[in-house]
Amino acid sequence: MTSDVAADSADQVLRDADTAMYEAKLAGKGQYVVFSVPMRQRMQKRLTMENDLRKALNAGQLFLVYEPIVSLQTGQLKRFEVLLRWQHPERGLVMPANSSPLPRRPA
């Protein structure tokens, strides 16, 4: 299949329509969107990320990082923040902002 919008099969048309529907739902109630190739690319990236994350759970690629919370006034340790991190075998350390390739719902 080429990278333009045209689909080669009914299954591909349905897949692209489903992708557009998902993006419309993200945009908010009563919204619609017209399918575009970047939508398909975002969805493929999301599916790849989800599959990689499932593999990461089984492969021990997730680990905890403890970060101290220190008072700026006294310099004393107040508490710790525990963060989950992902060491991807190909992408390296995946930062939280990079772990979800989908657009965020507007606040």
pLDDT tens digit at each of 107 positions of the chain? 445 666 788 898 899 999 899 889 888 888 888 898 898 888 888 889 899 999 999 999 999 999 999 999 999 999 999 999 999 999 899 887 766 544 444 44
Q: Which residues of 30-45 are buried (b: 16+ CB within 10 A; e: fewer)?
A: eeeeebeeebbebbee
The reply to whether 8 and 21 lie within a common domain is yes
**Structural domains in the chain (count):** 2
Distances (CA, A) of 6 to 12, 31, 33, 43, 74: 9, 23, 16, 17, 63
Note whether residue 103 is domain-resident: no
Is position 88 within any domain? yes
Q: Let me know if residue 104 belongs to a domain.
A: no
Measured distance CA(84)–CA(89) in Å, rounded: 16
What's the predicted TM-score (pTM) here? Answer: 0.62
The partner residues of 77 in beta bridges, in order of sequence, read 70
Query: Which domain, by its residues, includes 66?
Result: 60-96
Domain assignment present for residue 105? The answer is no
Q: Are residues 24 and 69 in the same domain?
A: no
